[in-house]
Amino acid sequence: MNNQKNIYKSFSESDMKNFEPEMKVGLLATINEEGLPHLTLISTLRASTPTEVVWGQFSQGLSKVNIRKNPKTGFLIMTLDRNLWRGKTNFTHIERSGKEFDILNNTPMFRYNAYFGIHTVYYMDLVEQYGMEPLPMGSVVLGAIKTIMAKTLSAKKGENDVLNLWTRQLIDKMTNLTFLAYVAEDGYPMIIPVIQAQSFGSEHVIFSASVFGEDIKAIPANAPVALFCMSFDMEDVLLRGVFEGTQRIGGVRCGSASINWVYNSMPPKPDQIYPETKVEAITAF
C-alpha cells in the first residue's frame, strides 16, 4: 500500500467487534486466471482471530473459482457508521463444519432462512490492514458534485452500448456505492471507494480525483480495473475495463475507466451481460 498509511499485521479487539454485524458492506477482491481483478459483495466477511478473516458461501460465483486458483485477495469492510477497513489476505482453506460454520449459520439472516444457509466457510490469513478510516462524507458529496459537473460540461457518447440504461442509472444515483479494484505491483488486489463515480457515455465511468486522490493516483495507467456498484435495495453490477489515468474533463480532474465487460453478480443466476453471450437452442434431448 502506498500513500504512507499505517500498516498493521493484526486486528484489534475493537476492529473484530465492528466486523460482527450482518448489516455492513463487505467486499472481496480476487484475481481471475487472466490476471484481471474481480469484486464480490460478501456480507459475512469478518475476523475470526486477530490474524484470520473468514466468510461464508451460500451461492456460487466467480470469486469462489478465482480464490482457489490465486490465493491473493484484498478486502474492504464498511460499517453503518461509515468507517472503513481495507487490507490484503491469503486464502488458505475451506471448512464445512466447525466454530465459524456454526457462528455464521446462527446469524439471523441464515438461522431463520428456509431456503438456503452457509454451506462452506473460507479462511484467509491476514497479510496487512490499514486501520479504521472514516469515510469522508463531505469530500464524497463534493466529489460527486464535481463528477456530475464534469459529466455535464463534457458530454460523451460511445460507439458500443456497453453500459445499458439500467446500469447507467444504478451508477449515477448519488445514494448508491461504487468501489474500484486493481492489482497492485505486489500481486494483491487493492480496493478504493469511488462513491462519486458517474457513467460517462455508454462506455466509460469517471470519478473526481478529489476523494481518495492518493489512492487513485497510485493506479497505473492502462491497468485493468473492476468497478462494483451497489444499491441498498440489493441491486448490484460488476464492470471491468481499463484505467485511462486522470485527466481534466469539463475542467475537473477525474479518473476515467473504459468499460469492456459487464457482469450481473446478483443471485439467483450470476451471468455475463456484455459482451452478450450467444444463446443456443437445445435440439437434442
pLDDT tens for 66-85 read: 999 999 999 999 999 999 99
- Dist CA 135 CA 137 (whole Å): 6
Q: What is the value of pTM for the model shown?
A: 0.92
Q: How many CB atoms lie within 10 A of CB 54?
A: 22
Query: 444515483: which residue's cell?
Result: 173
pLDDT in the model for residue 2: 44
Query: 462524507: which residue's cell?
Result: 137
pLDDT tens for 183-209 read: 999 999 999 999 999 999 999 999 999
Amino acid 115 reads: Y
% helix / strand / coil in the chain, to the nearest 5? Answer: 20, 40, 40
The helix or strand, by DSSP H or E, that contains position 110, with its residue range, turns out to be helix 108-111
pLDDT in the model for residue 67: 96
pLDDT tens for 211-257 read: 999 999 999 999 999 999 999 888 999 999 999 999 999 999 999 99
What domains does the chain contain, in order, with CATH numbers? 13-133 (2.30.110.10), 136-271 (2.30.110.10)
- Dist CA 13 CA 146 (whole Å): 38
Between residues 22 and 197, the one the model is more confident about: 197
Print burial letters for 137-165: b (CB count within 10 Å at least 16), e (below 16). Answer: eeebeebbebbbbbbeeeeeeeeeebbee
pLDDT band of residue 110 (cuts 50, 70, 90) is: low
